Amino acid sequence: MRESYHEELTSVVTDLVTMTDRVQTAVQDATRALLTTDLAAAEKVIGDDVVLDRLHDDLEQRCFSLLARQSPVAGELRTLVAALRMVADLARMGDLSAHIAKIARMRYPRGAVPESMQPNFQRMAVLASEMVEAAGRTLRERNVLDAEKMADHDEEIDELRTHQFRVLLDDSWNHGVEAAVDCALLGRYYERIADHAVLMGSRVIYIVTGLHPEGENWTIA
C-alpha cells in the first residue's frame, strides 16, 4: 500500500515537470507569435492553454486525494503542499502566455511591439523562458542552489520592465496610446511569468529544507 502511495507521489512530481516543459513551450511560442506576427503560433498557444488547465485540474485532484487518503507527514506533506501551489503557478503561467498570444492575434497582421522595443521584449522573453526551464529542472533534481540563483534573472527582468516604463512615458514616444497599452500589458505578463517561476524555485527550497526563503511572498496574481 505504501509502495503504491510513493509511486503516486513520484508521479505527481514527474507530471509537474512535464507540465513545466509545456509551459516553457507556450512562452516560446507566444513570443514567436508576438515578435514575428506568427498567427498560427498564437492560435496554438491559445488552444494549448485548455490542455494546461486540464493538467492543472488533474494534478490538483490527485494531490487532494493523496492528502485525504494517506495522511502524509514531514517531507511527503511538504511535497504535496508545494505541488498544489506549483500546479497553480504553472496554470497561471499558461494563462499569461495565452494573454500574450491573444494580443499578438488581436494586432495581426501588424506587430503589437514597435521595432524599437523588440530587443527589450526579446531579452525579457528569453529570461522568462529560461526561468521556467530552471524551475522544472530544480524540481526534478531538488537542487536548492539552482533554485536560489533564479532570483538573479528576476532582477534583470525587473530592470527591463523599468526601462519599458521609461520609454513608454518619455515625450519622444510616438507610437500612440494603443501600442503603449499593449507594451505595458505585455511587459506585465512576462514579469509575472518570471515571478511565478521564482516562486516555484522557492517551493523546491521548501520541499528540500522545510524553510521558506526569507522575504519570499508565496502568492502573486
Q: Report the pLDDT value the prediction gives residue 217, as an integer from 0 to 100.
A: 54
* Helix extents (H) in 71-143: 74-107, 118-141
Q: Report the pLDDT value the prediction gives residue 154, as an integer from 0 to 100.
A: 87
Q: Report the pLDDT value the prediction gives residue 162, as an integer from 0 to 100.
A: 96
CB 45 within 8 A of CB 101: yes
123 domain residue, yes or no: yes
Q: Report the pLDDT value the prediction gives residue 220, as an integer from 0 to 100.
A: 56
Q: Report the pLDDT value the prediction gives residue 91, as an integer from 0 to 100.
A: 97
Distance CA 158, CA 153 (A): 9
Burial track 165-178 (b if 16+ CB lie within 10 A, e otherwise): eebbeeeebebeee
Q: Report the pLDDT value the prediction gives residue 55, as an integer from 0 to 100.
A: 96
Place of cell 498570444: 101
C-alpha cell at 78: 511538504
Q: With a cut of 70, which residues of the chain have pLDDT below it?
A: 1-3, 213-221
Q: What is the CATH number of the domain that holds 142?
A: 1.20.58.220
Task: Identify the domain containing residue 106 by its residue range.
Answer: 2-209
93 domain residue, yes or no: yes
215 domain residue, yes or no: no
219 domain residue, yes or no: no
216 domain residue, yes or no: no
96 domain residue, yes or no: yes
Distance CA 58, CA 92 (A): 15
Q: How many domains are there within the chain? A: 1
C-alpha cell at 194: 518570471
Q: Report the pLDDT value the prediction gives residue 2, as an integer from 0 to 100.
A: 59
CA dihedral 173, 176, 179, 182 (to 10 degrees): 100
Distance CA 119, CA 140 (A): 32
